[in-house]
Each structure stands twice: as structure tokens, then as C-alpha cells.
Amino acid sequence: MVAAADRDTKRPARMSVWLDGKAATSRGRRPGGDQPSGLDRDRITAATVRLLDEEGLAKFSMRRLAAELNVTAMSLYWYVDSKDDLLELASDAAVGEVPLPDEAEDGDWRDRLRRLAEGYRALLVRHPWMSPLMGRFLNVGPHWAAFVLSVQRIVRSTGLPPDRQTGAIAAVFQFVYGFGTIEGHFLRRCEEAGLSQDEYFRYAMSAVDGQPELAPMVDSAAEMVAARGGGTVEEMRDRDFAFAFELLLAGIEAMSSGDGT
């Protein structure tokens, strides 16, 4: 247990750049003083996203970002307090790339949910650094809030009772999160190895086939793999995603119609 004196002096847990008032300041600048010329928070955030895409989360630093922008690292602190603030701003900017259904759209909820899920999957593949950040921040920036609200509205329109709606959201979007995260990391491994997806897959499968202790797993999967058919890695992955997503939609439909328990 923490001693009383320690509890009294312990710093409060960091919440969010969107909740501490800093994000609301004019273009993110601190009040007073001479701010560095040529910088603003939008430009800094865009450069952060670009660097994270190119080099990954592990290599990102304020010093590296400053070099990219041709400024001193201290210049960045006129606009943000920490690297965490920048990562949270970058995450919100990136999720703004996901196309959201029109609020006035009267289309089938399945189509709207499918399009939103496909956009979310593409986001995770395009920006593989995002997945480890999602549980790190509250995700309450303007783009994240718009995304979550869109999800909520679609799931409400399914006919599921309110006590089952959060479970449906978890089933759909945690599935997409896992699928898109693995896909994004696989693509990064292929790039680092200098191989195409199909080349990397063949190389990996040949290595697995040469391990007798893995034979039971390989043999067990052989029938399913054969039934799925050939094609490129991308085609097989898209086929699996589409079918898995249809299973989720069917489950939601069954529960909303009273056929489920």
C-alpha cells in the first residue's frame, strides 16, 4: 500500500491533452513569449504522423521530430508538453481519415457497419503504430469522438436492446482491431525483409513444414487451407475478413430479432 504522505504528494494520473485545456489554445501555442516562427500544432502533428508511418513508434522522439521540421527540440514545447501529447494528437488526426457514414443516410445498418469496419481496418494497416496507442489514451479528441458516435448510432439502429449494444460494438471493433493490427504488422515485416507478401508467406510456410514438432498443427489446418483455396495472400486475407465479418453481422441480426438467447 502507498503511505499517506506518498498519496498526498503523488502526481495525478495524466488524463488527456483534450481535457487539460491545452488543445483548445489558439493553434496549440502557449500564451505569451515569442513563439518559434513557421510552426503550428497542425504542422507538428502532420509531421508526427508522417514520421511514425516511416519509422515506427519505437524510433519516434522529440529530437527526431525537431530534425524533421528543422527546428530545435525546445521549439516543440511551445505547442505541446510532452511526447505523449504529440502521440495522442497524431492518433486523433489519423482516425480522421476513416470515412464516416452520413448521419442522414437511410441505408441498411449492415452496409453502414461494414463500410465503417473496412475503413477502420484500413486505418490500422496504414498506420500500424496506432494499435498500441489505443489503450494508452482516452481517445476523446474530435475525430475519435466522431468515430465513436458513428459506431454507436449504427449499432442502435440494429434493433439490439440497449444492454447488448456495447457487447456488439466490442465484438465487431475488437475483431477488426485484432485483424487489422496483425495485418499491419505482417506488412511491416515483409517490407523489412524486402519480400512481397506472397514471397514472405511461402518462405514462412517452408520453414514451418520443416519442423516435425509442428506437424500436428499443420496437418490439422491442411483441410481448412485446401478448402479455402489458393490465390494471393491479400486475396485469402480479404476472403477470411469478409466471412468473419458476415458471421458477426449474422449474430447481431439473430440477437436483434429475438432468435438468439
Q: Could you give the percent of the chain with pLDDT greater than 70?
A: 87
Helix, strand, coil percentages, rounded to 5, for the chain: 65, 0, 35
The label of the residue with cell 522529440 reads: 62
Map out the domains of the chain with their CATH numbers: 12-95 (1.10.10.60), 109-256 (1.10.357.10)
The structure's pTM equals 0.87
Helix runs in 39-161, H state only: 41-55, 62-69, 73-76, 83-95, 109-126, 142-156
Tell me which of 47-51, 71-75, 222-226 is least confident: 222-226
DSSP helix/strand/coil, 217: helix
The DSSP symbol for 16 reads -
C-alpha dist (Å) from residue 122 to 34, 145, 168, 175, 181: 41, 19, 20, 13, 10
Say what the pLDDT of residue 28 is.
Answer: 53
Higher pLDDT among residues 209 and 42, named by residue = 42
Tell me which of 29-43, 76-90, 106-120, 130-144 is least confident: 29-43
Task: For residues 201-225, give the mean pLDDT.
Answer: 86
Q: In which band, very low, low, confident or very high, does the pLDDT at 141 lie, cut at 50, 70 and 90?
A: very high
Q: Residue 252 has which C-alpha cell? A: 447481431
